[in-house]
Amino acid sequence: MSGKFLNERCHELILNVYEYFCHEKDNFGPLRNVEAVQARTSEALKISVRTLKKIIDSKKMNLPLPKTLEKPRKKWKTDDLPASLQHTIRDIIYSKYAEKQVVTLDTMRQALEDKELLVASRPTISKILNNIGFKFKKDCNRRALCEKVHVASARVQFLRKYVDNMNSTSPLPVVFLDETWVFATGSQKRSWQDDSPKSVKNANYSSNGKRFIILHAGNQNGFIENSSLIFAANSKSDDYHDNMDAANFERWLKDQLPNLTEPSLIIMDNAAYHSRVVEKMPSSSWRKEELQKLH
């Protein structure tokens, strides 16, 4: 049964057996004679001995389960699903993504019917997914990227070093540094609009003025004095990182960070210009003059 989805009735029977064994544990032994197999089984599952005998007889004769055992599927309200059924629906969605399948209302409806969990319309499936925390929105793989093995491993290493520093006999003060940008006259990302194109700003209209790149460092006491760097952006790219390079960053490190009054633990992100290869490995695209400089 490994990897199989269990319906609501299976969950109920499993809990019944678990509770029965817990009672036996509290009793320091069986509640009934171990030879009374059918009686113990019916009590554990909380079903009648008659029902149990029908199932056993059907198994011995290789017959399908008695029709009397098949109960009508309960019609759950979309906002009142059992926790176990909600968990199962989540597992179905996660398994589909793990198998690189597309998750839609139609595929979910079919999956729930195939597993005999729920029969519902597309609008009902939509309400259920919304109620258990799923939203239909633009795909973003950032969360998955953050949990890749090498990223998670780097995060663990960072946290260990950070904690080791905090727990040391003489911890270094922690200094955070980062970059951001600001327009000369500020910027407004939202505005009141209707469906008419007359309410949308011209795409080529620039009312925010010149953009400036800001580098700064700070600790628990605030910004480090005299450690800021502000310069006008040259690139018109929407990504302000295009205006930064290793040369600007290294110049700031040498000129501004000496304002730190004591040895510090500096924490920064993994932006491309925060690290660079000092001696690049030659490649087939290198020219003769570049290769000669290596000697």
Confidence at 70, pLDDT banded by 50, 70, 90: very low
Average pLDDT score, the chain: 77
**Is residue 239 classed as helix, strand or coil in its secondary structure?**
coil
Domain boundaries, the chain: 8-61, 83-133, 172-277
What pLDDT does 68 receive?
46
What pLDDT does 167 receive?
93
The contacts of residue 15 (CB under 8 Å, 6+ apart) are none
Planar angle of CA 85, 90, 96, nearest 5 degrees: 130
Mean pLDDT of 3-22: 77
What pLDDT does 163 receive?
94
Distance (Å, rounded) from C-alpha 233 to C-alpha 251? 16
Q: Which two tokens stand for residue 5?
A: 């989805």
Domain made up of 172-277: CATH architecture: 2-Layer Sandwich (3.30)
What is the amino acid identity at position 186?
G
Q: SS3 sequence, 59-73?
A: HHCCCCCCHHHCCCC
Residue 168 or residue 233, greater confidence: 168
Mean pLDDT of 189-209: 58
| Cβ–Cβ < 8 Å for 131, 78 | yes
Q: Name the residue among 174, 179, 173, 175 with its Cα closest to residue 252.
A: 179
pLDDT digits (tens, 9 = 90+) for 124-137: 888 888 888 888 87
Q: pTM higher than 0.75 for the full model?
A: no
Range with top average pLDDT, 161-170, 198-207, 213-222: 161-170
Confidence at 238, pLDDT banded by 50, 70, 90: very low
